[in-house]
Amino acid sequence: MKPQIRPSMAILLYLLAIIVIAFSFFFNTLLSLHTKWTQWDEAYSHGYPLFLIALYYCCAQLVSAKQQWRGHLAYSLVSIIPAVIWAYGEATQLQVLQQIALPMAIFTLALPLVGMKIGLRIIPVFLLMSLAIPVWDVVNPILRALTTEAATFLVRLVGITAYIDGFSFTLPYGTVVIAGGCSGLAFFMMALSLSGINAFYRRLTLKYAVLSIALLVTLSVVGNWLRVTALIMIAYYSKMQHSLVYEHGSFGWWIFAGIFFLYLWLIRNYAEQPAKAASAQEVSHLKNARPVWALTLAVVFMAALPIYMVVQSAKATQAQPTNSMTNNYDDQIWLPNYSGFDAQAHTSLMLANTQWQASQLLYTTQEQGKELVSSDNRMATENAKLIHDVITAEGNKLNLDVIQTGNRSRIVVWAYKLGSQLKTSAFSAKHAQFIEVLRGNPSAELVYLTKTCQQARCEAEKQMLQANLAQWVTVF
């Protein structure tokens, strides 16, 4: 008789595998989620309970008293997918990719235990789990715009005197601004989470589950419109004196609580599915268990790439990078609006008897908040006008920016340098960075050539560059 393992033991092994993977490789990812999940009254404050509830439903779906599993060794390879996604996010400081990889990792550890047929049943659980991952901020501008449009319509409908400019409602006694936190994202996320949990708890049919989720989401969005409009009316009639004008965090949640009870009453008659017992054929199919080997292989495949990256990083840490330039620039040094670099070098380059500044900003190591390619790192400050172009020199594409500040202009030719590759866009630079990290070279550079211009659009300097292509491109 072949050895068998009961589902209860397999569940314990599954949870143990999750703990080992999470705390060995996803620890920093867990910390980033912990920071989001403990910001009370924010959009992801439901993260901890939702994640635990989803994990419970996952285990409940996987195990039954009558079922015994056999391992699906081929599905162990699927665990490589979240490992690659996590590694890409780790190497490129794209934290959201690391966070997305976490629920994917939990799913791919379950798949080799039960196979694709049963695995497909638990996909909705991981969709529910994804509501705790901070990827939903992309809908915040949409919700904010909708809230502003609705509030504008309602304010005009009730006849309140207000000058409306964008997100600002200027009243005779002060100004009310619909900030990003007033978009209703927190209520939107809570509506998705609670309606999803309710669908699982009541085993709603697919039709009624979709209707249930759409109903609560719609009610929460409309409720936020009414909340914002009510606050504007309170500010108007109280002449900005009412306490709710300045402290209205709990006000929205009281409205949401009322909406949620209305939702429960509206869906009270939604049809539920009876619990489905496993068929004899399905039970037979799940005999002769091999989940220990299948799960072990999945853990090994998932851990291989992160371990490789740790080894490569250790090698790179021992090697001290050196600057390819020497500091011999004796004029005032110009720096772009970049931060977090570990070293800098500046040298003089003469083109047509004119001095240019050739520079290198070196990032020996990178981490979240200290990376080369970032939305915070820009060539110029926000109040400067920037004319952007891309040029080709000796087979390499380079960015060419003309920065206009007041009555002064500056030309900057620049690129991201990863290993021996020059990249002009953030996306291509991030991808090249991932490849270089795998090669054991985590350092990255910003290289640029610059000088002040005689004219506003730097036409003379552009011609000078074109006439001396062979000379100046070597600096990169």
Closest residue by Cα to residue 187 from 257, 264, 256, 258: 256
Measured between its terminal Cα atoms, the distance across the chain in Å is: 69
Q: How far is residue 185's CA from residue 474's CA, in Å, rounded to a whole number? A: 50
pLDDT tens per residue, range 176-227? 888 887 888 889 999 999 999 998 888 888 888 899 999 999 999 999 999 8
Query: 3-class DSSP state for residue 204?
Result: strand
Check pLDDT > 60 for residue 365: yes
pLDDT tens per residue, range 49-78? 998 888 888 877 776 544 556 667 888 899
Taking a C-beta distance cutoff of 8 angstroms, is the pair 161, 180 a contact? Answer: no
Give the mean pLDDT of 240-245: 77
Q: Which pLDDT score, from 0 to 100, does residue 189 have?
A: 92
Residues sharing a CB contact under 8 Å with residue 238, sequence separation 6 or more, in sequence order: 245
Higher pLDDT, 116 or 289: 116
Which tokens is 94 given?
A: 């794209």
Q: What residue spans define the domains of the chain? A: 7-134+285-314, 138-266, 343-475
Closest residue by Cα to residue 52 from 39, 65, 33, 35: 33
Q: Which pLDDT score, from 0 to 100, does residue 364 have?
A: 85
Closest residue by Cα to residue 118 from 77, 85, 52, 71: 71
* CB crowding 325-358: b at 16 or more within 10 Å, else e: beeebeeeebebebebbeebbbbebebeeeebbb
Residue entry with tokens 């380079």: 398
Q: Which pLDDT score, from 0 to 100, does residue 2 have?
A: 47
Query: What percent of the chain is helix, strand and coil (3-state, nearest 5)?
Result: 55, 15, 30
Q: Which pLDDT score, from 0 to 100, does residue 69 have?
A: 62
Give the mean pLDDT of 292-309: 86
Taking a C-beta distance cutoff of 8 angstroms, is the pair 371, 340 a contact? Answer: yes
Q: Which pLDDT score, from 0 to 100, does residue 277 have?
A: 52
Taking a C-beta distance cutoff of 8 angstroms, is the pair 219, 184 a contact? Answer: no
